[in-house]
Amino acid sequence: MKRQRYYIILSVLLVFTLIFAGCGPSEEGGGGEGGGTALSEITVAATSDFESIDPFVYTSDGANLILRNVYEGLATYKEDGTVTEGLAQSWMKATPDGKEWLVQVKMAIKFHDGVQITIDDVIYSVKKGAEMIPELAGKVADVYSKGSFGVNIVLTEPMENLPQYLTFPIVRANSNLADVANANGTGAYKLTAYEKGVGCTLERNDRYYQKPAKIEKINVKFYADSAAALAALGNGEAHIAAVSADDTAPDTCNVYAAPEGAADGVLGAAVDKRIEGFSAYAVPWWNFRTLTIAE
């Protein structure tokens, strides 16, 4: 699945710089650290609409950026790019040759509607993920429950690196994920509104099982192209703009390219120097949970 690589450019909110005076919406949040007030609501200017809000269907980096804040996988990435447990508590080879794997799932994790995930949800999601991930296509022979909260994944051939492909979302079994009313993940943000061609809204999941996000609400607006997104950034409509890697990043930003050898779809970033909670490694910035922007 070929994807365009994007840069993310975060706006300059320098109150005392004449050029940028008045940039950024004026919402106020709780007290921030290091001076200034941290915004509780921000706007993201995206350069493409979603093909679908179904996390098993999307192909654009814009959808990837947003929906990874709503849904989570059994595995996730650490800052150094290595894979670590997400919704999985642990994993191990169930057979010496790596043809079977046992994944223990964290207990008491709840979807946004407050209902706890079940092993049936995990089994359903693994089977869906096996259809979505090219590296797993035709290689998952069976998935079944094992013990109190574990699943056995049986492969058609040994895979020493299976965990790195377990980042696909865990969703409720048999749900219609193309309907925003069913956008029911376990992530730090809930998808609460979506209008095709216009934008979508993410709201903080206050029942998140880890430390909750600092920003309460993220408004995503779709723009026709990178130039329009950058214009929104400059005139104060947006705090973040997703633009093509071919566009020139402002010299007021720190630029982080995707790591050499990174998988297709791993994004680089250009970040305003006053942004806190951003990582130099491309993968974790999919996670808005630790992001803080001073007003």
Residue 17 or residue 148, greater confidence: 148
291 lies in some domain: no
- Check residue 59 and give its pLDDT: 62
Q: Does 139 lie in the same domain as 204? A: no
Contacts of 7 (CB under 8 A, 6+ apart): 242, 243, 244, 245, 247, 249, 255, 267, 268, 269, 270
Distance from C-alpha of 95 to C-alpha of 195, rounded to nearest angstrom? 47
Q: Does 237 lie in the same domain as 206? A: yes
What number is the average pLDDT over the span 206-230? 89
Give the range among 112-116, 130-134, 186-190 with minimum mean pLDDT. Answer: 130-134
What number is the average pLDDT over the span 102-109? 96
pLDDT at 9 over 50: no
Q: What is the CATH number of the domain that holds 160?
A: 3.90.76.10
Q: Does 84 lie in the same domain as 11? A: no
What number is the average pLDDT over the span 117-126? 96
pLDDT at 226 over 90: no
Domain that holds residue 204: 6-70+187-286
Q: What is the CATH number of the domain that holds 44?
A: 3.40.190.10
| Of 185, 172, 177, 179, nearest in space to 68 by CA | 185
Residue 263 or residue 136, greater confidence: 136
- Check residue 5 and give its pLDDT: 42
Q: Does 194 lie in the same domain as 279? A: yes
179 lies in some domain: no
What number is the average pLDDT over the span 253-264? 55
pLDDT at 227 over 90: no
Q: Does 193 lie in the same domain as 278? A: yes
* Class of residue 271 by CB neighbours under 10 A (exposed 0-12, middle 13-18, buried 19+): buried
Tell me whether strands 88-93 and 41-46 are parallel, antiparallel or unpaired. Answer: unpaired
38 lies in some domain: yes
What number is the average pLDDT over the span 16-27? 32
172 lies in some domain: no
Model pTM greater than 0.85?
no
170 lies in some domain: no
113 lies in some domain: yes
Q: Does 275 lie in the same domain as 241? A: yes
Q: Does 240 lie in the same domain as 113? A: no
User: Percent of the chain, pLDDT > 70?
Assistant: 71
- Check residue 223 and give its pLDDT: 87
Q: Does 95 lie in the same domain as 240? A: no
Residue 14: band (very low, low, confident or very high) from pLDDT cuts 50, 70, 90: very low
Q: Does 208 lie in the same domain as 266? A: yes
178 lies in some domain: no
pLDDT at 138 over 80: yes
Q: Does 95 lie in the same domain as 64? A: no
261 lies in some domain: yes
Residue 123: band (very low, low, confident or very high) from pLDDT cuts 50, 70, 90: very high
User: b/e string for 180-219 if b means 16 or more Cβ within 10 A?
Assistant: eeebbbbbbbbbeebeeeebbbbbbbeebeeeebbbbbbb
Q: What is the tally of structural domains in the chain?
A: 2
